[in-house]
């Protein structure tokens, strides 16, 4: 498909994704690296991302919703029999649907255990499941005492094979936070209750906390897609999302004139501005206008005034030779994902998942 030159473009660099996957495998020191591809691979396209990661050796994936798991199973097709874990688990009435799509639920409560176990007892050979233990985040999962009681009775596990025990770190992006060590200790106790199962605690940031956090399987998300594990760019990781947009018009703004909604920018001297064909309808956060910078003509250019739905104004020097149609980088090699997120007052995750459907997309390095 040819791209419209007057449209904002998103290029997803699957070669960079493969590089990041290899870098995380190195950091994982032998633990399996299981990509998290929920939310359409953080907005970048789960079908294309998972296909390339499969080609790189990934065999286990995590999604959040059952529908995401169904879509991923269909996208991978019958020849790529990946293990797909569903973090939402097995809500009431969902067991037949999970089994039909060959999805493995991450069971989070006694009610979900009952749902999946009851269904498993009707299936020859039973069913596999993962079990989530809440070690301090207070989101999903059994408390430690509930897991211990479950092992004592074993009745709630009839028909089930618990192949993986997981928990989730609340403060891994802050390496010195005391919650990390506290959660690690609780998880070590919890995982010891299921000695035959694999164990998984680390997300992207947890991967970089050291050997003790790695266990058997790690679940990176944002760092696969180029975000640093601690909210700043990491030298081992490459940008995967490249967002550019064309210049629509060059304007000469006179002293005393304003730019954009609310007249929040007033020119104190003659200002040359380029109007860019991108805005919050494309997923560029409106708050990016406060401190954001883009890349054009070999230099960073600051945003002038408020972002609008379809346009951004940037300051350009009077000697810069540019014209309508020239492209401006909003994310990529020069505008790092973490830095764009920081300028927007948010995190890299939100910057990616807000990328809008109307962006025209290409995939570099796609493999069948």
Beta-strand pair 258-259/265-266: antiparallel
DSSP state letter for 286 = G
Segments in the chain below pLDDT 50? none
Query: Residue 367: what pLDDT?
Result: 75
Q: In CATH terms, is domain 14-225 a member of 3.20.20.10?
A: yes
Token digits for 342? 């920081």
Every domain of the chain with CATH number 3.20.20.10 lies at 14-225
State pTM to two decimals: 0.96
Question: Among all residues, which ones are annotated catalytic?
Answer: 38, 261
Beta-strand pair 160-166/198-200: parallel
**241-364 has which fold?**
Lyase, Ornithine Decarboxylase; Chain A, domain 1 (2.40.37)
Residue of 334, 239, 342, 252 lying closest to 294 (CA atoms): 334
Question: 12-71 pLDDT, tens per residue?
Answer: 999 999 999 999 999 999 999 999 999 999 999 999 999 999 999 999 999 999 999 999
| Phi and psi at residue 84, to the nearest 5° | -120, 115
Question: 179-198 pLDDT, tens per residue?
Answer: 999 999 999 999 999 999 99
Every domain of the chain with CATH number 2.40.37.10 lies at 241-364
């Amino acid at each position: 498909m040819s791209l419209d030159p007057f449209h904002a473009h998103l290029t997803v660099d699957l070669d960079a994704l493969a590089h990041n996957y290899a870098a995380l495998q190195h950091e994982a020191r032998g633990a399996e690296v299981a990509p998290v591809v929920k939310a359409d691979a953080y907005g970048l396209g789960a079908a294309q991302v998972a296909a390339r990661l499969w080609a790189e050796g990934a065999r286990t994936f995590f999604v959040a919703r059952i529908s995401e798991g169904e879509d991923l199973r269909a996208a991978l097709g019958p020849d790529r029999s990946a293990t797909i874990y569903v973090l939402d688990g097995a809500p009431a009435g969902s067991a037949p649907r999970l089994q039909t799509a060959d999805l493995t639920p991450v069971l989070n409560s006694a009610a979900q255990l009952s749902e999946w176990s009851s269904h498993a007892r009707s299936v020859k050979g039973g069913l596999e499941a993962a079990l989530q233990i809440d070690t301090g985040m207070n989101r999903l999962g059994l408390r430690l005492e509930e897991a211990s009681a479950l092992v004592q009775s074993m009745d709630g596990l009839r028909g089930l094979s618990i192949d993986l025990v997981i928990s989730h770190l609340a403060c891994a992006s802050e390496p010195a936070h005391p919650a990390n060590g506290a959660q690690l200790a609780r998880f070590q106790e919890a995982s010891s209750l299921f000695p035959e199962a694999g164990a998984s605690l680390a997300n992207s940031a947890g991967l970089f906390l050291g050997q003790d956090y790695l266990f058997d399987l790690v679940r990176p998300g944002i760092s696969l897609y180029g975000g640093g594990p601690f909210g700043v760019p990491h030298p081992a990781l490459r940008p995967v999302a490249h967002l550019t947009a064309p210049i629509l018009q060059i304007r000469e703004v006179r002293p005393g004139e304003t730019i954009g909604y609310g007249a929040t920018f007033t020119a104190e001297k003659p200002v040359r501005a380029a109007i860019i064909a991108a805005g919050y309808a494309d997923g560029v956060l409106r708050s990016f206008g406060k401190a954001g910078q883009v890349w054009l003509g070999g230099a960073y250019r600051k945003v002038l005034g408020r972002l609008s739905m379809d346009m951004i104004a940037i300051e350009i020097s009077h000697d810069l030779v540019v014209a309508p149609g020239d492209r401006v980088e909003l994310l990529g090699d020069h505008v790092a994902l973490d830095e764009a997120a920081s300028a927007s007052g948010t995190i890299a995750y939100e910057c990616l998942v807000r990328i809008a459907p109307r962006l025209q997309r290409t995939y570099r390095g796609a493999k069948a």
